[in-house]
């Protein structure tokens, strides 16, 4: 018989543990969407709050610095371009603006309810639309998209 390490949460601590899980998940979602200042409010010092509360370089801390539309749904967040050998790839991570506003305002329970209600309305068929690549929709209202960018020739100096 194999044993698995674990722990038990007593009934007296269930409320606290539920809030801990909700805050941690909210921090992860906020960081995913590029909301660095908002992320810090949901973390304890031990979880790395200082990292998200510190001043950061503008290009790494922007929120709403990029958006995409998929069908009739807009997603806002952040994007990055990186290179794999000679191929340039754009990544976008973000979420539905109304959901982020709830998180930003500290209304986690309202966010969770709104995200749950939106799950069945997320358009996953013909999702690529104008986006040239795969898009991954998540039940929490977030999206991740990848796109290979056209080759850009540079002039020799």
Q: Is the pLDDT of residue 61 over 60?
A: no
Counting residues of the chain whose pLDDT is more than 90, the rounded percentage is 1
The band of 8, judged by pLDDT with boundaries at 50, 70 and 90, is: confident
Q: Is the pLDDT of residue 128 over 50?
A: yes
Residue 115 to residue 113: CA distance in whole angstroms: 5
Q: What is the DSSP string of 99-133?
A: HHHHHHTT-HHHHHHHHHHHGGG---TTTTTT--S
The pLDDT mean for the chain works out to 76
The band of 157, judged by pLDDT with boundaries at 50, 70 and 90, is: low
């Amino acid at each position: 018989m194999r044993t698995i390490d674990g722990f038990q949460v007593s009934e007296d601590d269930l409320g606290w543990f539920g809030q801990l899980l909700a805050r941690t998940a909210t921090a992860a979602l906020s960081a995913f969407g590029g909301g660095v200042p908002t992320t810090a409010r949901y973390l304890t010092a031990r979880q790395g709050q200082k990292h998200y509360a510190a001043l950061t370089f503008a290009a790494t801390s922007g929120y709403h610095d990029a958006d995409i539309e998929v069908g009739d749904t807009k997603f806002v967040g952040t994007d990055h371009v990186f290179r794999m050998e000679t191929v340039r790839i754009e990544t976008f991570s973000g979420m539905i603006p109304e959901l982020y506003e709830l998180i930003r305002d500290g209304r986690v329970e309202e966010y969770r309810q709104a995200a749950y209600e939106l799950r069945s309305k997320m358009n996953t068929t013909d999702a690529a639309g104008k986006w040239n690549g795969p898009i991954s929709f998540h039940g929490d209202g977030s999206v991740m998209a990848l796109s290979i960018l056209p080759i850009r020739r540079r002039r020799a100096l």
